[in-house]
Amino acid sequence: MSFSPTLAERRFGFGLSPQIPAPQSVEAMLRGVAGVDQMLADHPLPSFRDLQDKLVLRRRFRGFARKNPDTDEGKAADKKQQEIYRTARDDWTRGFVQIQARRIQTPHAFRERLVAFWADHFTAVGKGGMLRFAGAAYVDEAVRPHINGRFADLLRACVIHPLMLEYLDQNRSAGPGSIIVRRRPRWQGLNENLAREVLELHTLGVDGPYSQADVRELAELFTGMSRADDYGFVFRRNLAEPGAETVLGKTYGQGASLQHIETALDDLARHPATAAHIARKLAVHFVGDVPSEDLIAHVTTVFAQSDGDLVQCYTALLEHPDAWGTPAQNIRPPQEFISAALRAFGSPQQAFSQMQPRDIGKVFHGPLRVMGQPWENPAGPDGWAEDDAAWVTPQGIAARLEWAVYAPSKFLDALPDPVEFAQAALGDGVTADLLFAVNAAETREVALGLVLVSPAFQRR
């Protein structure tokens, strides 16, 4: 099977839109990835710097309130810190709207799918307080700018970001021979989380050619990376392990330095096992749970020969016959399902803007939790599962059915004609049996729901 505009949107994007033409060639898809990130400009989100400022300000008000709990000033400070928290929480909820708007309105949906793919590959989640609301800012700052560059640059940006350091407990990791451990023996010591995930998840893969000794040496090399009092990045030499570290047979530096860390990450990005791991992940995510070894080998070769040039890797993926000839296998995960539904309806952003944060929670966040994929909250650093078994559960499917029937009327001023919607949403995937069921439905809501839960819409 050769290139198909419908398949391009369904498999490599967020589905067909009634308003935006599907790409007409692989070259058009790649131009959309390599070009200007217009969706970021059109639908901006609060930056990580903005959240940092809120975190610092809230900490000050909380500190004053705790020291003066019975005074009018202390009570006012406590009220102010609660207000800051609510503002950050509401910004996070409205951020869902902006991210959906990017997916709905983009003419380059492959780009938005790639952002979601790499954000999952480099999963980072704030563990508590307002840092729980930092996910979108992390993606915009560490992931989006690098998805059309070199993998090494993407790797460095994500690993060194303050949210990743927070998520994988790197902030207080200290080398056994570091200044702080020598002075304070009860310091918690070395933490291997970040080093292990960089090797196992981000680069070489779980079966990669590394040992526990490599994990420990890389963890020692990573010591010193931490966050400042304003929650930004800082390199703390008093936490860093002195001397050189040897990872995969190569020795880095004779002293604590961020440059040595970046060099090690560059070397990991260029490793042959990394090329194979990334190629397999791309093939599984976009083509099928069990991609052909020929497809994986083709992308692996291009990754290695291009020094991890990601656009060339995407080209290798899209130019392979399997990209277009593999039957639809994977069911859309819940978040992708909802984004695809919104895009199929051509949902206007103003409809979302009129929704209160609590309503966004009821219509979207709550159902996503029941479907098994809560918004920006994966269970672990390995991100979301690719296999269908994670989503095809009695509870998950029931939640999809319920959402498909009741939710559209919550964000649309008027429901479309079901037959016209089916034809627009499915293109050449619409079947006579589905149209018969749609015409026989008792209500317009049920008819639209039948389209959304049909195999042609659920699978890519």
The average pLDDT across 265-291 equals 97
What integer pLDDT is reported at residue 172 of this predicted model? 87
Per-residue pLDDT tens for 184-241? 877 778 999 999 999 999 999 999 999 999 999 999 999 999 999 999 999 999 999 9
Contacts 24+ apart (CB under 8 A), 74-78: none
Number of domains in the chain: 1
Q: Measure the CA angle with vertex 182, ends 179 and 184; round to 5°.
A: 100
Per-residue pLDDT tens for 132-175? 999 999 999 999 999 999 999 999 999 999 999 999 999 989 99
Residue 331 forms beta bridges with which residues?
A: 459
What integer pLDDT is reported at residue 349 of this predicted model? 67
Q: Is residue 158 part of a domain?
A: no
Does the pLDDT value for residue 327 go beyond 70? yes
| Separation CA 166–CA 172 (nearest Å) | 9
Closest CA to 176 of 227, 226, 220: 220
Helix (H) or strand (E) holding 115: helix 109-121
Do the Cβ atoms of 333 and 286 come closer than 8 Å? no
Choice among 10-24, 228-242, 245-259 with the minimum mean pLDDT: 245-259
Q: Is residue 217 part of a domain?
A: yes
Give the three-state DSSP class for 220. Answer: helix
The average pLDDT across 389-403 equals 96
Contacts 24+ apart (CB under 8 A), 203-212: 203/155, 203/268, 203/269, 203/271, 203/273, 203/274, 203/277, 204/268, 204/271, 204/273, 204/274, 204/277, 205/273, 205/274, 205/276, 205/277, 205/280, 208/273, 208/274, 208/277, 209/248, 209/273, 210/248
What integer pLDDT is reported at residue 253 of this predicted model? 82
What integer pLDDT is reported at residue 356 of this predicted model? 87
Which two tokens mark 277?
Answer: 């791991």
Does the pLDDT value for residue 16 go beyond 90? yes
- How does the average pLDDT of the chain come out, rounded? 95
| Separation CA 141–CA 157 (nearest Å) | 8
Instruction: Report the share of the chain in percent with pLDDT over 90.
Output: 92
Do the Cβ atoms of 20 and 13 come closer than 8 Å? no
Helix (H) or strand (E) holding 235: strand 233-235
Q: Is residue 311 part of a domain?
A: no
What integer pLDDT is reported at residue 383 of this predicted model? 97
Residue type, 293: E
Does the pLDDT value for residue 401 go beyond 70? yes
What integer pLDDT is reported at residue 256 of this predicted model? 75
Does the pLDDT value for residue 456 go beyond 80? yes
Q: Is residue 235 part of a domain?
A: yes
Domain of 210, in residue numbers: 164-270
SS3 readout for 135-152: HHHHHHHHHHHHCCCEHH
DSSP 331-394: BPPHHHHHHHHHHHHT--HHHHHTS-HHHHIIIIIHHHHHHT--TT--SSTT-S--SGGGT-SH
Per-residue pLDDT tens for 272-284? 999 999 999 999 9
Which two tokens mark 139?
Answer: 């993606």
What integer pLDDT is reported at residue 264 of this predicted model? 97
Q: Is residue 457 part of a domain?
A: no
Q: Is residue 221 part of a domain?
A: yes
Residue type, 167: Y
Q: Is residue 253 part of a domain?
A: yes
Q: Which residues contact 124 (CB under 8 A, 6 or more apart)?
A: 135, 138, 158, 161, 163, 164, 166, 167, 168, 381
The answer to pTM > 0.85 is yes
Q: Which residues contact 145 (CB under 8 A, 6 or more apart)?
A: 37, 157
Per-residue pLDDT tens for 78-114? 999 999 999 999 999 999 999 999 999 999 999 999 9
Q: Which residues contact 118 (CB under 8 A, 6 or more apart)?
A: 143, 146, 147, 154
What integer pLDDT is reported at residue 350 of this predicted model? 67
